[in-house]
Every structure is written in C-alpha cells, then in structure tokens.
C-alpha cells in the first residue's frame, strides 16, 4: 500500500508539473504574439472608388532582429533572423485606402519566382526612393510585401505584391545598418471587414526548403496579418 501511495503521489506530481509546463508554455506563446499596430488616420482621399478614409503604416525590413524598436528583439532566440518591424500584426478600418511605407535596410539576391519582381494590385503609383516604379530587377530584390486573403476570407479577391529593392552589398556594413536604405511607398484599397495574411516571397531564410526555412517559415519575422475591422 505504501508503494502504491508513493507511486500515486509521484504520478500526481508529474501531472501537476506537466500542467504547470503547459500553462507556462501557453503564457509564453501568448506573450510572443506580436503587438497589434492600428493604422494611423490620414483624413480622407479621393480614390478610383470614390472618397474614402485614408490610413497609413510605416514598416521596416532588417537583416536581423536586433533593432530595439523591433518586436522580435525582445521575444526571440533568433536575433540573426531577418525580420519586418516594428510588428507584423496590422489593423485597418474597412473601406479605406491603406498606404504603407517600408524602409528596407537589407540586401538580397535572386528571386525564385520572377513574378514577384513586379508591383501588383496597388492603387495609383508605387514609389521607390521618391520615384515611380513598377518593378525591380529579379536579382536585386531584398524582400517583398505580398498580401492575400486568409482562408476564412473566401469572398475577397484582394491581392497586393510589392518588391523591395535590395541594398547593394557595398552599402551593407559589417555591423549596424546601412545609411542608404531603400524607401518604398504604395497604397491599396480594402473593402469589408475580413482577415488577410502577408509575407515575403524572396527566399531570405536559411539553406533549407529552398531558403524558405527559419525566418520565412516561422510566424512574426517575414510574415504577418492584416485585420480589416
């Protein structure tokens, strides 16, 4: 009987430890969820679909995750992974024009799929360092911002893809970040409330899965969500 009681106590203790571990794991997972960024109101604007409210974001792409204002800086063991920042969870109001400015501090190489060298699905004209552009050379792409409906959002046909010109290798310092980033600005129109996902289509991960491993296949670094509310 004493042995049974001991075994029973050990089993209960093991279950308790497992439960505590599960709760801790859940809490850690929740704490790692990127901060939600609501778009900045910019008034109203005339679009191809009439007068709409106008909102904006400013994002950055980095060759690592060590920038202090980047969410991943304090929430990852992968400081060397490329990343978007300051967060990858975005929220915009329904039926609005969304303008995104992305400052790219990273280099790049050759796209796996040259389709993503082109600007697709934007409202008006995309701008690269203050000049209009419609594509970049497929061997000079640093990252892309590619947006599509989430599986739950079956009625939307919104698709946006914009290439981010890579910083030349000569301008990439050994430490820190380049003083000559490329600044890309583009806009698109969102309709009714729904969920969208976005990601980078340039193979900027590690050597696995055709360079779509690590940062490319993990949430928060080179992929995120856009909630239309």
Alpha helices in the chain, H assignment, sequence order: 2-31
**How does residue 200 score in pLDDT terms, banded at 50, 70 and 90?**
very high
Tokens representing residue 55 in the block: 């909102």
Q: For the segment 203-226, what is each residue's pLDDT rounded down to a tens digit?
A: 877 666 666 777 777 777 889 999
Asked whether 68 and 155 are in contact (CB, 8 A), the reply is no
Tokens representing residue 146 in the block: 């590619």
Q: What 3-state DSSP class applies to 107?
A: coil
Q: Has residue 168 got a pLDDT over 50?
A: yes
Which of 19-28, 65-74, 82-91 tops mean pLDDT? 82-91
Q: How far apart are CA 78 and CA 136, in angstroms?
A: 29
71 or 55, which is more confident: 55
Asked whether 225 and 197 are in contact (CB, 8 A), the reply is yes
**How does residue 11 score in pLDDT terms, banded at 50, 70 and 90?**
very low
Is 42 exposed, middle or buried, given 0-12, 13-18 or 19+ CB atoms closer than 10 A?
middle
Q: What 3-state DSSP class applies to 41?
A: strand
């Amino acid at each position: 009987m004493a042995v049974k009681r001991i075994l029973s106590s050990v089993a209960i203790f093991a279950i308790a430890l497992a439960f505590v571990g599960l709760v801790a794991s859940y809490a850690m997972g929740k704490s790692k969820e990127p901060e939600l960024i609501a778009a900045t109101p910019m008034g109203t604007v005339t679009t191809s679909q009439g007068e709409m409210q106008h909102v904006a974001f400013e994002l950055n792409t980095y060759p690592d995750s060590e920038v202090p204002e980047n969410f991943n800086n304090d929430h990852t063991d992968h400081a060397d992974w490329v990343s978007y920042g300051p967060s990858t969870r975005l929220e915009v109001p329904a039926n609005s024009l969304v303008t995104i400015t992305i400052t790219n501090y990273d280099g790049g190489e050759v796209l796996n799929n040259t389709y993503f060298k082109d600007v697709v699905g934007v409202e008006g004209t995309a701008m690269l360092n203050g000049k209009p552009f419609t594509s970049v050379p497929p061997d000079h792409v640093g990252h892309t911002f590619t947006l599509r409906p989430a599986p739950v959002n079956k009625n939307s046909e919104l698709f946006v893809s914009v290439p981010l010109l890579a910083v030349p290798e000569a301008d990439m310092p050994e430490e820190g970040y380049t003083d000559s980033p490329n600044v890309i600005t583009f806009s698109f129109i969102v309709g009714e409330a729904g969920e969208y996902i976005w990601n980078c289509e340039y193979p900027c991960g590690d050597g696995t899965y055709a360079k779509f491993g690590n940062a490319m296949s993990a949430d928060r670094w080179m992929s995120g969500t856009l909630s239309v509310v």
